[in-house]
């Protein structure tokens, strides 16, 4: 798992008092401290409703954002936007841009995944219900969550590979 821990996620700063668009209707510039590679695959600053959700929760640094598939307890598949910040993980409806779930990173206990190319991983949240997610960026999400949980809570996120034959 050392390869996952060495991954350095993109940090996008979104100041809480900066407008998303300037007076001419152009996208507001972001303070890009790191090269623009990976991390925010949706260009979160260009989605005002998503920015508002994050600001209401006190978040302003996006580590990861992309569309994923979430599976319900009954096995139904739901399209979601997964946003990971320095404080929490968000599941957002991509059609309505409405918050469906916010999980504080301190509450994330474990991630389980297979090493197969199936794109599935499970996030264990002991104080709430767990999440089963599918994403082509599984390895990146796991690496970012490991770093983010450690930064938010000083505890190591358990990462478990579970391959079955």
Q: Number of H helices and number of E strands within the chain?
A: 3, 9
Strands annotated E in the chain: 12-13, 61-71, 77-85, 88-93, 98-104, 110-113, 120-124, 131-134, 158-161
Q: Does domain 2-161 have CATH number 2.60.120.260?
A: no
The per-residue pLDDT for 15 is 39
Strand 88-93 with 131-134, pairing: unpaired
pTM of the shown model: 0.76
The per-residue pLDDT for 102 is 98
The per-residue pLDDT for 114 is 83
Q: What are the tokens at 128?
A: 């709430």
Consecutive 10-residue runs of the chain (165 residues): their mean pLDDT? 36 39 37 52 96 94 97 94 97 98 96 88 95 95 95 90 72
By CB neighbour count within 10 A (0-12 exposed, 13-18 middle, 19+ buried), where does 68 fall? buried
Q: 3-class DSSP state for residue 134? A: strand
Distance CA(128)–CA(100), nearest Å, equals: 14
Where residue 67 falls (left for φ over 0; alpha for ψ -120 to 50; beta otherwise) is beta
The per-residue pLDDT for 1 is 39
């Amino acid at each position: 798992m050392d390869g996952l821990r060495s991954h350095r996620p993109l940090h996008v700063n979104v100041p809480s008092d900066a407008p998303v668009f300037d007076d001419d209707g152009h996208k507001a510039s972001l303070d890009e401290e790191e090269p623009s590679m990976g991390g925010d695959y949706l260009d979160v600053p260009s989605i005002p409703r998503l920015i508002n959700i994050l600001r209401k929760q006190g978040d302003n640094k996006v580590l990861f954002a992309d569309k994923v598939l979430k599976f319900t307890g009954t096995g139904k598949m739901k399209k979601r936007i997964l946003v990971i910040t320095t404080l929490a993980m968000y599941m957002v409806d991509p059609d309505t841009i409405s918050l469906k779930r916010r999980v504080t990173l301190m509450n994330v206990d474990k991630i389980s995944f297979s090493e197969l190319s199936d794109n599935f991983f499970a996030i264990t949240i002991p104080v709430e219900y767990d999440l089963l997610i599918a994403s082509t960026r599984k390895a990146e999400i796991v690496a970012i969550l490991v770093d983010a949980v450690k930064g938010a809570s000083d505890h190591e996120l358990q990462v478990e590979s579970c391959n079955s034959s």
